[in-house]
Structures are given as C-alpha cells and as structure tokens.
C-alpha cells in the first residue's frame, strides 16, 4: 500500500502574528469568604452607591428568601410532613404523567421535578385525602427507589432521569423513534465503560439479594446527558428462568438487529469482564446465571436478530466459558491481565473491528 506524505513545507501558517494580550491587574478576592454573595465585593470595581443599591434590591427580588444567607433551597423531605403531603396531593390532582406501566402510572411533582415523583397503582383506589408518610420499606421498595409510602398503592419515589429506548411501533412517532435510535447510537459510541458497569452492578447486586429485574424495555431508563442507564422496576413477582444481566440490558435497550448491536454487546461484555476484576465469585450469581445468549425465535430471546451468530457464540464462550473459568483458578494479577487481553479481543471483534483485512493495512 502506498503512503502519501500529507505535510506541506509552507510555513506561512506559522507566521501569523497575534496581538499582545494586555495584562490587567485583577482584583484580589482571596479575602472573600467562599461560596457567598458579598456586596462588598462590588466595591472592588468601584460602583457608584446608587447603582449598588439598585443591584442589592434586584438581587434580593430574584433570589429565594434565605439565599443571601447562603442557604441552599429546601429539599421536599426537609419540609414539615403536612406540607409534603399537600405537595403530593397537588401532584395527584394534576396527574402529569412521567410514564405508565402495566400496573402503575408515575406522576411528576412540579415543585421537585428532578428529585421526586409519585407512583400510583391503578388497580388500587386510594383516597387522596387520607395520605400519610410511612418509611417502613422492604428490600423491594428500596430497589425500586421508594422513599416513602403514602397510602395503599401510592409511593413517593426518587426521580430517575432518562427515557426507555424500547421502540413502540404502535405509539411512538416517527421522530420519537429517531430520538431513540440516536440514543442507541450514542450509547454504542459515546457512553463510557462506567455507565455499563453501573447498571450491571445494579442488576447483579439486586439479584444477589433475591431481587430480579423485570427486564422489559420500559423498565430501563437512559439519560444521555449524565450518561447513565438505570433499571427501575424490580418485581418480587417477576421470576425469569433465564438470568443473564448482559442479555437483559441488551434486550431492554432494543438494539438487536440495529447497526449498534455488536458495539453495545461488546461494551456490555467488556464492562462485565472489568467488573470481574474486583467482584467476588459469590456475588456473581453463578448459581442462577444462564450462560447463553439465546436466539431460538421465542419472542423474548434477546439475540434473535443478531446477524453473525458464529461471532456471537465465539464471544459468549470467551466470556462465560473461558474468562469465568479463569476467575476461579488464576491469581489476581494474572487474572487482571487476562481480563485486559479479553477486552482487547472483544474490542477487535465487536466494538471496533477493522474494516479491512489486516494484510492490506500493513
């Protein structure tokens, strides 16, 4: 193969002159207390007293009361119980839906939209006038982000940001589907390994505690801004016979049959492998782990549309037969090197396969 020299000898670009940047004497603010709004600071730039007093009044108007004492805005749970209940009742009256599952609808709390939301079980009729905060939570409540129970079938939840990527052909619009596809592409190309480790860890540690993720697509939320993938629905009733966290996440992200499938699978496998470095064997749910990536044609099989089945089987075996076996026998440092080699291979096979055969590159 011929390699072309792309450098030029034209030095014109290096001769562009820039103006000298003038140096200003910046005021010394080190004596000011940190994280406070100080009107004295404005004296540094010598504002006339009339403008200064106008500024003070405007700032007082726009900041919430207490802000000039450097107090952060109150959290819902810092409020008196009566007020918390009132806010929840208002949300239940307004019924602004954030999402709807088979059993429940989740509503927005307008005053705290990024912190909390309310889940109502539609099958249970609750009297909204008779709500009480009950903090007695079991392990399933905790896994499902419940902060408090409000009444039968009503719970106050920690708000989880993101949208499910499962494409609903009947209800999603054409542009809605485009958004989901773009997010799948983002996950494949831009999400860091930590995003995958976090969600694997969430599903695995809950499973070790006897709590199974209800692996439907609606139950996995993806936030492209903070690059987080969060499982939100762990059900005591859901008891899948085939437990495989990689297949669960892959399935819920709805990437099978898309061009992003191999990359997403590769990233999940590498995250699983990386997690093996620090995870104890007993926390890996090996007694219930189903080491298959199924493509039998059943509706729920995660890999029905995966194009290269030979490749899929090869990678599956590298992880669940070889690497897991190595975890049982190797020393820690030997195993860590083994994981790094595995990740390198998966990178080449699934994540970033070379377009051209190797001979042509060299």
Q: Work out how close the CB of 28 gets to ligand ADP at its nearest, in angstroms, rounded to a whole number.
A: 46
For residue 184, with 0-12 CB atoms within 10 Å meaning exposed, 13-18 middle and 19 or more buried, which class applies?
buried
Q: Work out how close the CB of 240 gets to ligand ADP at its nearest, in angstroms, rounded to a whole number.
A: 15
Closer of 145 and 243 to ligand ADP (Cβ): 145
Closer of 214 and 274 to Mg ion (Cβ): 214
* Separation of alpha carbons 59 and 67, rounded Å: 10
Can you tell me which residue has the tokens 């690059």? 227
Chain positions 123 to 142 lying near ligand ADP, rule: CB under 6 A, are none
- Residue 217 engages ligand ADP in binding (rule: CB under 6 A): no
Please list the residues that pair with 228 across neighbouring strands.
223
What are the E-state strand segments in the chain?
97-100, 104-108, 116-121, 146-151, 154-158, 163-164, 212-213, 220-223, 228-231, 234-235
Please list the residues that pair with 105 across neighbouring strands.
100, 120
Contact range with ligand ADP by CB under 6 A, out of 30-38, 156-164, 250-258, 304-312: 156-164
Contact range with ligand ADP by CB under 6 A, out of 31-39, 152-160, 195-203, 280-288: 152-160
Q: What tokens were used for 200? A: 């694997």
Closer of 102 and 190 to ligand ADP (Cβ): 102
- Tell me which of 84, 85, 88, 104 binds ligand ADP, using CB under 6 A: 104
SS3 content of the chain, % helix, strand, coil (to 5): 45, 10, 45
DSSP class of residue 297? S
Contact range with ligand ADP by CB under 6 A, out of 12-20, 158-166, 248-256, 301-309: 158-166
Closer of 68 and 153 to ligand ADP (Cβ): 153
- Tell me which of 119, 149, 215, 327 binds ligand ADP, using CB under 6 A: 119
Closer of 168 and 281 to ligand ADP (Cβ): 168
Closer of 106 and 350 to ligand ADP (Cβ): 106
* Separation of alpha carbons 277 and 274, rounded Å: 6
Closer of 101 and 224 to Mg ion (Cβ): 101
- Residue 95 engages ligand ADP in binding (rule: CB under 6 A): no
Chain positions 278 to 297 lying near ligand ADP, rule: CB under 6 A, are none
Nearest-10 Cα torsion for 72, 74, 75, 78: 120
- Tell me which of 99, 151, 245, 262 binds ligand ADP, using CB under 6 A: 99
- Residue 103 engages ligand ADP in binding (rule: CB under 6 A): yes
* Separation of alpha carbons 193 and 189, rounded Å: 11
- Residue 254 engages ligand ADP in binding (rule: CB under 6 A): no
DSSP class of residue 348? I
Chain positions 233 to 252 lying near ligand ADP, rule: CB under 6 A, are 233
User: Quick one: which of 238, 243, 209, 231 has its CA closest to 138?
Assistant: 209
In the complex, the residues that contact ligand ADP under the rule CB under 6 A are 98-104, 106, 117, 119, 145, 157-160, 164, 218-219, 232-233
């Amino acid at each position: 193969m011929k390699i072309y020299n792309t450098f030029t000898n034209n030095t014109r670009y290096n001769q562009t002159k820039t103006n000298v940047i003038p140096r200003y004497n910046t005021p010394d603010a080190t004596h000011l207390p940190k994280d406070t709004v100080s009107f004295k600071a404005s004296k540094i730039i010598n504002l006339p007293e009339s403008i200064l007093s106008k500024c003070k009044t405007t700032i007082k108007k726009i900041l919430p009361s207490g802000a000039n004492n450097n107090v952060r805005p109150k959290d819902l749970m810092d409020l008196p119980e009566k007020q918390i209940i009132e806010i929840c009742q208002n949300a239940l009256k307004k019924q602004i839906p954030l999402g709807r599952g088979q059993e429940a609808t989740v509503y927005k709390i307008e005053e705290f939209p990024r912190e909390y939301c309310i889940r109502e079980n539609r099958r249970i009729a609750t009297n909204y006038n008779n709500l009480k905060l009950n903090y007695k939570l079991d392990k399933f409540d905790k896994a499902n982000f419940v902060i408090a129970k409000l009444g039968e079938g009503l719970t106050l939840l920690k708000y989880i940001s993101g949208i499910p990527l499962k494409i609903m052909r009947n209800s999603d619009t054409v542009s809605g589907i485009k958004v989901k596809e773009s997010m799948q592409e983002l996950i494949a190309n831009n999400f860091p390994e930590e995003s995958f480790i976090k969600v694997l860890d969430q599903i695995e540690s809950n499973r070790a505690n006897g709590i199974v993720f209800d692996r439907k697509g609606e139950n996995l939320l993806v936030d492209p801004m903070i690059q987080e993938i969060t499982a939100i629905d762990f059900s005591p009733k859901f008891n899948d016979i085939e437990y495989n966290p990689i297949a669960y996440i892959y399935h819920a992200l709805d990437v099978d049959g898309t061009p992003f499938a191999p990359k997403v699978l590769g990233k999940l496998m590498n995250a699983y492998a990386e997690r093996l470095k620090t995870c104890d064997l007993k926390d890996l749910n090996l007694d219930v782990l189903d080491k298959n990536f199924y493509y039998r044609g059943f509706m729920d099989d995660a890999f029905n549309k995966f194009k290269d089945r030979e490749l899929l089987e090869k990678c599956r075996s590298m992880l669940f037969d070889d690497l897991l076996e190595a975890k049982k026998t190797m020393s820690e440092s030997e195993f860590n090197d083994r994981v790094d080699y595995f990740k390198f291979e998966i990178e080449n096979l699934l994540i970033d396969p070379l377009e051209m055969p190797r001979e042509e590159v060299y």
